[in-house]
Amino acid sequence: EVLLRMHSVGICGSDVHYWQHGRIGDFVVKAPMVLGHEASGTVIKVGAGVTHLKPGDRVAIEPGVPREIDEYCKVGRYNLSPSIFFCATPPDDGNLCRFYKHSANFCYKLPDNVTFEEGALIEPLSVGIHACRRAGVTLGSKVFISGSGPIGLVNVIVAKMMGAALVVVTGKS
């Protein structure tokens, strides 16, 4: 594990939903909970056995960490594990705080030319990349995106970067 001094944490729609409604589906807030899962920070202390990070390293945080090695982990889809730890999903605290302890294997060094703010945006960017890959977006694709919020807009950017010829977006307004 590593101890981080948090620098930038995005406010996701799920954070707002937990705050306003106290639940998302089966995930119910039953006790005070720290929000935040789109984050970057600086390593201030490393645990025993951590060799790829050192104090002073600037990192982006991957918020989903497997708690056990199950069948999903064995096939490389640990994010689907029913027992996964995910920052700011009840009952797990998030990282919208001054200091945060996280698995070193799920902290990624930021290049010098990437700001902390950009580092915090890597998690929502990964959502857009995953969605466009699942949809098979490629050179010349025509893409429809339902929703023009932050994740919808990330999908627009990724679809265009993957070569989409036409991207249509709808929103509530």
Share of the chain above pLDDT 90, in %: 90
- Residue 24 pLDDT exceeds 90: yes
Domains belonging to the chain, first-starting first, are 2-122 (3.90.180.10), 136-172 (no CATH)
Q: Per-residue pLDDT tens for 40-56?
A: 999 999 999 999 999 99
pLDDT at 172: 83
More confident residue, 143 or 83: 143
pLDDT at 9: 97
- Residue 62 pLDDT exceeds 80: yes
Instruction: Verify cis geometry, omega within 30 degrees of 0, for the bond prior to 32.
Output: no
pLDDT at 48: 93
**What are residue 114's phi and psi, to 5 degrees?**
-105, 125
**What are residue 44's phi and psi, to 5 degrees?**
-115, -20
- Residue 173 pLDDT exceeds 90: no
For 143-158, what is the mean pLDDT? 95
Residues linked to residue 85 through DSSP beta bridges, in sequence order: 65
pLDDT at 144: 97
pLDDT-derived band at 34 (thresholds 50, 70, 90) equals very high
Pairing of strands 166-170, 142-146: parallel
User: Alpha helix (H) ranges present in 22-165?
Assistant: 71-74, 116-120, 122-135, 150-161
Question: Closest Cα partner for 28 from 15, 37, 18, 14?
Answer: 18
Q: Per-residue pLDDT tens for 115-125?
A: 999 999 999 99
Q: How many residues does the chain have?
A: 173
Q: What is the helix (H) or strand (E) element at residue 5, kind and residue range?
A: strand 2-10
For 59-78, what is the mean pLDDT? 92
Contact 92, 86 (CB under 8 A): yes
Own/partner contacts of 65-73, CB < 8 Å, gap of 24 or more, are 65/102, 65/103, 65/105, 65/106
pLDDT-derived band at 106 (thresholds 50, 70, 90) equals very high
pLDDT at 68: 87
Contact 16, 72 (CB under 8 A): no
Question: Closest Cα partner for 63 from 12, 25, 18, 137?
Answer: 12
pLDDT at 59: 98
For 77-93, what is the mean pLDDT? 92
Chain mean position to CA 60: 9
